[in-house]
Amino acid sequence: MAAAAAKTRKDSTKENLASKCNICEKNVGERDLGVQCELCEGWYHASCSGVAEIYPYLGKIENLHWFCNQCNKNVKKTLYSLSKMEERINKVESDVETMKNEKVRLGSELRKLEKDLNGFKAEIDETLSKFSQDIKDSQKTVVETEIKSVVGAELGFREIQVQQLQESLSKTKEFVEEEQDKESRRNNIVLYRVPETDDETVTDRVSADKKFCEQLFNKLNVGFDPEDIRKIFRLGRRVEDDRSQRERSPRPILVELGSYAIKNLIMHSLFKLKSMENRFKSIIISHDMTKSEREHCKVMVEEAKEKSRNETGDFIYRVRGPPGRMQIVRLRKIH
């Protein structure tokens, strides 16, 4: 928690002067000794909350915090969860750094392979030139035949080497491009089932989508700030016909976030969706995956469906986990 002091009634603005005490339900006036819970932001009389003796120190000493009884029960658990989440984020960032180093190494190997390929081609050209000159200088058919045989064998061997080198180069390029694609999507999420508006301009439609996402992320209570959204747009081409946007299947929304940390907090809080109001409850949020990751996920989903069809007990199978670490898990059915 940032270095800050507990907030007292003397520190509050005039906008909050009519706040009621959450214990006695009487107003905490400007002249009352009042203190505000740093978690739920509710106001309490110093006497009602039992902090009358230390009240003079509240709001003056840094790192002196105060929570109401209800919030105090959950603070320790929340701080522990945040600590664990920070450890996981640090591990993910360490893995990403390792991946970047590996990408640099592969890039170096790629340049070496290209250099070797050029060297092989130069050797082939030199060999062809040498043997061609030998053929011209030779007057004996036997010698010419032997030279052609040697050249053919040499060229065949070199062609095999070049082919193998090109295959290796192609695979390396595909791997590097895939890793670059993953890195570009690292902070992205995709929202499904978000209704589209009938606004005429693109600016108004994007503004409506951004407002919906901001409200949803704030409901998840992950410390979201509007500046965390760097870019937002609908995937796919907008279809124009006589139907309103509400009658069509809405296009997915891709949201590019400012950091992997805020994305990770959002993905770990998705369980809260089922307890939200109806317009948020049906929303599906997923990682932004590359083409190969989507194909892999599709195969795993089909496998999970097959397992569920063959399950004779009270269980179902679902795909869980982020791209690259997805796995099929066995879950008990909810009746």
154-206 pLDDT, tens digit each: 888 888 999 999 998 889 998 999 999 999 999 999 999 999 998 889 999 99
Distance of CA 294 to the CA centre of its chain: 14
Per-residue pLDDT at 2:
29
Which is more confident, 240 or 107?
A: 107
Read off the DSSP letter of residue 18. T
Q: Do residues 29 and 17 touch, judged by C-beta distance below 8 A?
A: yes
What's the pTM value of the predicted model, to 2 decimals?
0.50
Per-residue pLDDT at 144:
63
Query: Whose CA is closest to 165, among 119, 198, 132, 131?
Result: 119
Dihedrals phi, psi of 98, to nearest 5 degrees: -60, -40
Give yes or no on whether 7-67 and 185-288 have one common fold.
no
Which is more confident, 71 or 139?
A: 71
User: With 80 as the cut, is the pLDDT of residue 328 above it?
Assistant: yes
Domain boundaries, the chain: 7-67, 94-184, 185-288, 289-335
Q: Do residues 311 and 329 touch, judged by C-beta distance below 8 A?
A: no
Cα distance between the two ends of the chain? 41
Share of residues in the chain with pLDDT > 90 (%)? 39
Average pLDDT over residues 252-257: 96
User: With 90 as the cut, is the pLDDT of residue 11 above it?
Assistant: no
Task: Pick 185-288's CATH classification: 3.40.50.800, 1.10.10.10, 3.30.70.1820, 2.60.40.1180.
Answer: 3.30.70.1820
Q: Under 8 Å CB-to-CB from 276, ≥6 apart: which residues?
A: 219
Q: Which residues pair with 242 in a beta bridge?
A: none
Query: Whose CA is closest to 114, among 181, 179, 170?
Result: 170
User: With 90 as the cut, is the pLDDT of residue 64 above it?
Assistant: no
Q: What is the per-residue pLDDT across 73-83, written as a single tens digit (0 to 9) for each?
A: 877 777 777 77
Domain 7-67 has CATH 3.30.40.10: yes
Provide the H-helix boundaries in 197-239: 202-219
Q: Do residues 216 and 312 touch, judged by C-beta distance below 8 A?
A: no
Per-residue pLDDT at 208:
94
Continuous segment of H or E residues that includes residue 191 = strand 188-192
CA distance 236 to 247: 17
Question: Per-residue confidence at 59, pLDDT binned at 50, 70, 90?
Answer: confident
Dihedrals phi, psi of 329, to nearest 5 degrees: -115, 155
Q: Which position has the token pair 């179902």?
A: 316
Q: What is the per-residue pLDDT across 82-117, written as a single tens digit (0 to 9) for each?
A: 778 888 888 888 888 888 888 888 888 888 888 888
Average pLDDT over residues 38-59: 85
Question: Per-residue confidence at 281, pLDDT binned at 50, 70, 90?
Answer: very high
Share of residues in the chain with pLDDT > 70 (%)? 89
Per-residue pLDDT at 73:
80
Per-residue pLDDT at 1:
27
- Token pair listed for 116: 């070797």
Q: Do residues 44 and 23 touch, judged by C-beta distance below 8 A?
A: yes
Query: How far, in Å, are 103, 136, 145, 155, 264 from residue 133 at the CA level?
Result: 45, 5, 14, 16, 67
Continuous segment of H or E residues that includes residue 188 = strand 188-192
Which is more confident, 214 or 39?
A: 214
Name the CA radius of gyration of the chain, rounded. Answer: 33
